[in-house]
Amino acid sequence: MLYQDALNASASAVTIYMALAIDQPAMFNPELANSLNTHSLHLYDVGQVTEALKIIQKAVAIYRTLAADLPAKYDSDLANSLHNLSLRLTNVGQVAEALKVIQEAVIMYKALAADLPAKYNRKLANLLNSLSLSLYDVGQVTEALDNVQEAVAIYKALAADSPTKYNPMLANSLHTLSHRLSDVGQVTEALENIQEAVAIYRALAADLPARYNPRLANLLNSLSLTAELPPRFNPRLANSLHTLALCLSDVGQVTEALEIIQEAVAIYRALAADLPDRYNPRLANSLNSLSHSLSDVGQVTEALEIIQEAVAINRALAADLTVRFNPRIANLLKTLSLRLYDIGQVTEALEVIQEAVAIYRALAADLPAKFNSELANTLHTLALRLSDVGQLTEALETIQEAVALYRALAADLPARFNSSFSSSLKTLSLCLSCVGQVAQALESEAEAMNIRRAITAD
């Protein structure tokens, strides 16, 4: 209800300012643009991403007009609304358009920061962080790394002068930097950066006893490392711990990864006990990673139980916000299918992955640019499970569909999708062999090898 109430209020504000701006545009267009921006955010909060995109586009159009007449006054507002537009474009899978928009916003903020660095460097760093994410979305991983490194450098300088104010932002950018370092294979450096982020959040929490929440502390009493954390930094610490666990797993420290993700889950459990609407999605996400970590250390039964809990949480969320949480359910169902397969429940694993495919088909039908990659990945898994139960013809048809999707994706973004494309071709070769199509199987294997050679060469 909280999200819906906020949405209703922002919709009323838009209606009022729209009427006022008709008669007095010079006076009320700035307020209208601001209210549209806020309304777009609230639409996103309730899962209405397409409507949120339309609304922020209207806000950007108004700010463009305002900034054309008074750039000194409105350029920053235009850049901020462009930032939000980029996020909404990403939400609907228009990643190339999102990149262009965030690049425009960054250019504007670089100009603003050149004149007034003290005023605009913080926001510039934030936009550079977002630009890094957009570059990653289109497969430009090296450029993504460069931009987040620039953001980290700005935040380090800001935090050196005002650590209390800027250390949280520095930790967040270090978090993103860790992901980008991992993307380019620098797993040791990725681990070092997320460890630095975690250390910052621990220090922040220790330095803010005034924010101490007695009820939350009681819930966290069993966690010696987090018993004194104020509520402001618990979510951020949990988030950075989550990434730390992933980085530890990447460097083979699976036992340490398990310990860290268990700590993150415990924090999210405490947060979700007080604010379930806000933190249950993050709890489910951390449970998903915990399931993977438990599987990595051979605790397959426990891994299954944990992912079942995560699926149950997101099914409940989807009852209220189906559009927003269906992608999360589909992702968790993929993990659940793997865990069922791990304990030999192949038929059940097949049923679950079929449900995930059905969800991704529906999502991809509306937003192919956003969900075709997930559909391809899930079809690949479905083909393996169909093969496991002897449905060889169905497995072949399914992997052929996955290969077709990956072929199109890799044609547009080879750096991002060639690896998955090659893997799907390998599976296609195996499926073709199983039905006696040996010549075609050899062709698919050869194509897969050529792609892998190209990846290695790059």
Q: What is the CATH number of the domain that holds 336?
A: 1.20.58
Same domain, 270 and 166: yes
- Decide if 96 contacts 138 (C-beta within 8 A): yes
pLDDT tops 60 at residue 324: no
DSSP letters along 257-322, please? HHHHHHHHHHHHHHHHHH-HHHHHHHHHHHHHHHHHHHHHTT-HHHHHHHHHHHHHHHHHHHHH-H
Mean pLDDT lowest among 30-39, 140-149, 160-169, 228-237: 228-237
pLDDT at res. 105:
97
In-domain check, residue 94: no
Same domain, 293 and 237: no
User: Which domain does 175 fall in, by range?
Assistant: 162-274
List pLDDT tens digits, range 414-429: 888 899 999 999 999 9
Same domain, 294 and 217: no
Domain stop point among 311, 344, 377: 344
Same domain, 263 and 293: no
pLDDT at res. 226:
33
In-domain check, residue 414: yes
Domain stop point among 256, 274, 292: 274
In-domain check, residue 313: yes
| pTM greater than 0.75 | no
Token pair, residue 147, equals 């931009």
Same domain, 172 and 269: yes
Q: Taking residues 108-117, what's their average pLDDT?
A: 95
- C-alpha span between 256 and 325 (Å, rounded): 30
Quick one: the chain helix, strand, coil %, rounded to 5? 90, 0, 10
Domain stop point among 217, 243, 274: 274
How many separate domains does the chain show? Answer: 3
More confident residue, 253 or 429: 429
Q: Taking residues 133-161, what's their average pLDDT?
A: 91
In-domain check, residue 206: yes
Phi-psi region of 298 (alpha: psi -120 to 50; beta: other; left: phi over 0): left
Same domain, 267 and 284: no
Band of pLDDT at residue 228, cut at 50, 70 and 90: very low
pLDDT at res. 216:
27
Same domain, 262 and 202: yes
pLDDT tops 50 at residue 221: no
Token pair, residue 218, equals 């009681």
In-domain check, residue 336: yes
Phi and psi at 359, nearest 5°, equal -65, -45
In-domain check, residue 188: yes
List pLDDT tens digits, range 184-206: 778 888 888 888 888 887 777 66
In-domain check, residue 226: yes
pLDDT at res. 277:
76
The CATH number of the domain holding residue 391 is: 1.25.40.10
Say what percent of the chain tops pLDDT 70: 91
Q: Taking residues 385-410, what's their average pLDDT?
A: 96
Say what percent of the chain tops pLDDT 90: 56
The terminus-to-terminus CA distance of the chain in angstroms comes to 51
pLDDT at res. 382:
97
Band of pLDDT at residue 2, cut at 50, 70 and 90: low
In-domain check, residue 250: yes
Same domain, 329 and 254: no
